[in-house]
Structure 1
């Protein structure tokens, strides 16, 4: 699984590089689909990944909302780099004993969540890929070529 997280982080950083020259108003512009804007989508990807890892670690999740403090791409990149440290640490300590360990959550909005730790990690992998697809649509609307989503030729599985 670690290769897919590394893939997501590599692609995320490629998106950051691609978007560096996009005007801030375009990153914040409300769009059809997804979470409404490029900046909100990037923020969401980063926050959700970290929050689920906090759940797996039994730690409180971040109670932070997208706001004016995250309007610039630089602040979103810093947010990603800072939270990624916790995710990398958690994954580096992952072992097969966690695969079928059960996570029980009672979200404040109701309902119960019961799943394995491995299901959470697989969900996170898919979650980011899903939202990156929306970013691809939006940058095409800006006349740009999106970041390639190809796992092959990314050099992630070299010895």
Structure 2
């Protein structure tokens, strides 16, 4: 499971790097569908991952406001900061939360920790697909999404 998070984080870092070729206005431009803009989509991915992981742990949800992270630099900093907390959690024994029944503050539904972690992974991959479509619509080459060929076991994150 952790390897899939490393995959998502590596691809996310590559999208952040990809974004550096664009202006702030381009990153915030409404593109139709999905979360709306490239920058907001990346913010949404970061915020959702952190909220669900805190939910598994029974911690209070911290709501982050896009307006506070509406530059690429601030968003990268937020992503890296929250990733440290998320990775610490993922390094805990999986059995301690895999079958745990969880209700998160924003939904009144029981989920297992295992289902939530799978949801987080799929959620990010879904939005990476949206970013790829938008990149092509803008006449640009998207970040490669291949899972094979990535050095995920030795991935050194940008922290």
Normalising by structure 2, we get a TM-score of 0.91
Indicate the RMSD between aligned Cα atoms, in angstroms: 1.4
Where 1:145 maps in the other structure, the secondary structure is coil
Judge conservation of contact 2:98–2:113 (CA < 8 Å) in 1: yes
Judge conservation of contact 1:52–1:120 (CA < 8 Å) in 2: yes
Alignment CA distance shift 1:77-1:21 (3 Å): same
Judge conservation of contact 2:55–2:103 (CA < 8 Å) in 1: no
Query: How far apart, in 2, do the equivalents of 1:96 and 1:146 lie?
Result: 37
User: Which of these residues, 109, 112, 130, is aligned with residue 113 of structure 1?
Assistant: 109
Where 2:61 maps in the other structure, the secondary structure is coil
Alignment CA distance shift 1:52-1:153 (3 Å): same
2:13 corresponds to 1:13:
yes
Deviation track 1:15-62 (CA, whole Å, cap 9, x = no partner) reads: 011111111100000111101100110000000000011111111111
How far has the Cα of 1:11 moved from its partner?
Answer: 0.3
Q: Number of residues paired by the alignment? A: 154
Correspondence for 1:88: 87
Long gaps (5+) in structure 1 = none
Query: How far apart, in 1, do the equivalents of 2:104 and 2:143 lie?
Result: 35
Query: How far apart, in 2, do the equivalents of 1:102 and 1:24 lie?
Result: 41
Deviation track 1:68-94 (CA, whole Å, cap 9, x = no partner) reads: x32211111001011111100000013
Correspondence for 2:132: 136
Alignment CA distance shift 1:106-1:138 (3 Å): same
Query: How far apart, in 1, do the equivalents of 2:102 and 2:81 lie?
Result: 25
Long gaps (5+) in structure 2 = 155-159
Judge conservation of contact 1:106–1:113 (CA < 8 Å) in 2: no
Correspondence for 1:56: 56
